[in-house]
Amino acid sequence: MGQASPQVSSPGRVTAERVPVRVSRAGEVLQLVRSGAASTTSEIATTMSVARSTVSERIALLLRNDLLIPDGEIAPGRGRPSVRYAFNPEAGLVLTVQLGMSGSRVAITDLSARVLASRTVDVDLNLGPQHVFDTVLATLDEHLSGIDADRTHLRGVGLGIPSSTELAAIEPTGAGDGQPWASFDVAGYVQGLLGVPVYVDQDVNLLALAEHRSSWPSAKVFLCVKAGTSIGCGIVIDGQVFRGGTELAGQIAHTPVPGSTAQCDCGNLGCLNATASGAALVAKLQATHDFSGSSAREVSQRASAGDVAAIQAIRQAGRDLGHVLAGVVNLLNPEVLAVWGYLDDAGDYLLAGVRESIYSSALSASGAALTMTHATLGSDAGIQGAATAVIEQFLEPAALDGWIYQAESRAP
């Protein structure tokens, strides 16, 4: 866990070279149907430049494994009607988890990332990873029972976790399992318990992925900023999460804010996280005003209720955040910047501050062309992003061919 790169653990994955000819390209058939490019045997055969009999064999495999379902008929001008096929999102389930410093979400989705069951779980990350995942798995089993399913229906697990810097700052307590997050193999541990592929990525990357797919799919350069207990930035370029040369792109939390001398957990002074995060605002309000809260959510609630000090604190946090983001805007020239998190829940206070600084500090042409907006997905954004990442990997044609081959090999 020492870096921000995604971890992927896949038990016994079959490579494309080992998949027999009778199974190969079944994933490609499903991809065509799922994308809407083709839906009948004839259309698929024409698109793939293969015989109808080859397509029929692959369709039979996909039907047998519940990945395709008949979806009516298309009546041609002459001859027999053609069966139209559709992707079946109920062919499997995904466990998705968004671990946060001040709250975690555990959910089950289908293969379209539709949330079937979800819950906010009060779990203390300071108790250590094994304790946390014991709680997660107990919640998983409750969710599965509630939708009349079991662990055999799982096709993968998606985990959104705090940044490596945040995890490194967590100090295990004596009441927990004593294991540090920074050196813990999250993907390997969870895969060992559940026996399905596990995808682990920084939470803000998954937020950006979900928001881009759902609301801004045509944006070539998209930024999603998390403004909650901590601050982070996810970057999507040409439809893919951009992580940089050493997987640390978007780590704006530790960019210095001019004039700030606030002590940061990383050891430096004046970092954005120590100046404008929810945790920083809580500390400021506790020190200077009659504020007894302890979370970014409570700061947001106070602002929503009209508390002037909370409103001013959030607005200034937006200015500080916007000052840092202005450099990102000049560098990447994004089309859309979406803001998500507890500090954004109070209304336009945070976003107004962000806009103020970007308009005054970024290149005027870049600022004028930039759409700055609230994220649309709400509290389920992280779990939908985690589900999307897992689903895209599971349904990648070569990977799906391997899964079908394994499923067929296990069949009686």
Do 328 and 295 belong together in one domain?
yes
Longest dimension (CA), the chain: 80
In sign, the C-alpha dihedral spanning 272, 273, 275, 276 is positive
Predicted pLDDT of residue 230 = 86
Q: Does some domain include residue 210? A: no
Do 79 and 186 belong together in one domain?
no
User: What residues have CB less than 8 Å from 243, skipping those under 6 apart?
Assistant: 4, 5, 6, 205, 249, 250
Do 403 and 357 belong together in one domain?
no
Q: Does some domain include residue 111? A: yes
Do 293 and 316 belong together in one domain?
yes
Predicted pLDDT of residue 344 = 84
Do 187 and 246 belong together in one domain?
no
Answer with the one of 88, 111, 140 that is the final residue of a domain.
88
Do 113 and 245 belong together in one domain?
no
Do 310 and 340 belong together in one domain?
yes
Do 249 and 352 belong together in one domain?
yes
Do 303 and 340 belong together in one domain?
yes
Do 30 and 99 belong together in one domain?
no
- Total structural domains in the chain? 3
Predicted pLDDT of residue 3 = 43
The whole-angstrom separation of Cα 238 and Cα 220 is 5
The whole-angstrom separation of Cα 356 and Cα 409 is 60
Answer with the one of 88, 119, 134 that is the final residue of a domain.
88
Residue 270: other Cβ atoms inside 10 A: 17
Predicted pLDDT of residue 18 = 80
Predicted pLDDT of residue 164 = 76
Do 107 and 197 belong together in one domain?
yes
Predicted pLDDT of residue 76 = 67
Do 313 and 188 belong together in one domain?
no
Domain of residue 20 covers 16-88
Query: Which residue carries 């930024």 as its tokens?
Result: 223
Predicted pLDDT of residue 152 = 94
Predicted model pTM = 0.87
Q: Does some domain include residue 212? A: no
User: What residues have CB less than 8 Å from 358, skipping those under 6 apart?
Assistant: 322, 325, 326, 329, 337, 367, 370, 372
CATH code, domain carrying 40: 1.10.10.10
Mean pLDDT of each 10-residue bin along the chain, 412 residues long: 57 65 93 96 96 96 97 76 94 94 88 94 86 91 94 95 79 66 87 93 93 96 92 96 89 93 90 93 88 85 92 95 97 97 87 96 95 91 93 95 91 68
Q: Does some domain include residue 357? A: yes
Predicted pLDDT of residue 212 = 96
Q: Does some domain include residue 186? A: yes
Q: Tell me the helices (H) and strands (E) count for the chain, helix number first.
A: 15, 13
